[in-house]
């Protein structure tokens, strides 16, 4: 059984003791617990972590993206980072907030060339994320 399964913008990280279900602005656990950024009614301001039994997972808020309250999930022993809506292939009609490029820059710092990066739109190559970061900066600073 795959340990990380993506269906649309939802990603399930399976652990021995429980599963974590990720959506761009919220995380739920199979035991009923949940995590969201305080801007979305949750209790988390910057970072939260859990051991799923055999898999350690970090949930972080690196800055607001297109909607605000976007979360990033880091799964170190699977070399995977879930970035939700922080990457979008089409910026048309999207307002670029000042914290969005900073959040993407921080995501790049959490990755290396072999890291699997999953956005709501699907897998993203690190180079494409770096190009997107430059596009965000250009939109913000013209």
For 115-141, the pLDDT digits (tens) are 999 999 999 999 999 999 999 999 998
Query: In angstroms, how far is the first alpha carbon of the chain from the final one?
Result: 47
Mean pLDDT of the chain: 95
Report the distance separating Cα 92 and Cα 112, nearest Å: 28
pLDDT of amino acid 1:
57
Q: Which stretches of the chain are assigned E, i.e. beta strand? A: 4-7, 10-14, 19-23, 26-29, 34-35, 47-51, 56-60, 72-75, 80-84, 116-119, 122-124
pLDDT (tens digit per residue) in 32-53: 999 999 999 999 999 999 999 9
Confidence (pTM): 0.95
Report the distance separating Cα 28 and Cα 22, nearest Å: 7
Report the distance separating Cα 107 and Cα 105, nearest Å: 5
Q: pLDDT over 70 for what percent of the chain?
A: 99
Instruction: Classify 56 as helix, strand or coil.
Output: strand
CATH number of 4-141: 3.60.15.10
- Asked if the model's pLDDT at residue 142 lies above 90, the reply is no
Give residue limits of the domains in the chain: 4-141
Report the distance separating Cα 86 and Cα 103, nearest Å: 8
pLDDT (tens digit per residue) in 64-80: 999 999 999 999 999 99
Backbone angles phi, psi at 103, to 5 degrees: -65, -45
Report the distance separating Cα 58 and Cα 102, nearest Å: 19
pLDDT of amino acid 93:
86
> Stretch 95-100: mean pLDDT, rounded?
94
């Amino acid at each position: 059984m795959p340990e990380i399964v993506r269906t649309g913008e939802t990603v399930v990280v399976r652990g021995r003791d429980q599963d974590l279900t990720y959506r761009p602005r919220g995380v739920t656990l199979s035991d009923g617990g949940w995590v969201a950024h305080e801007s979305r009614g949750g209790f988390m301001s910057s970072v939260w972590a859990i051991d799923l039994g055999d898999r350690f997972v970090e949930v972080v808020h690196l800055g607001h993206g297109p909607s605000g309250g976007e979360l990033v999930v880091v799964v170190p022993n699977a070399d995977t980072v879930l970035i939700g809506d922080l990457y979008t292939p089409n910026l048309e009609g999207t307002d670029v907030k000042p914290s969005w490029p900073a959040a993407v820059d921080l995501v790049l710092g959490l990755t290396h060339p072999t890291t699997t990066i999953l956005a709501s739109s699907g897998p993203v190559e690190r180079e494409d994320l770096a190009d997107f970061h430059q596009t965000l900066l250009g939109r913000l600073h013209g």
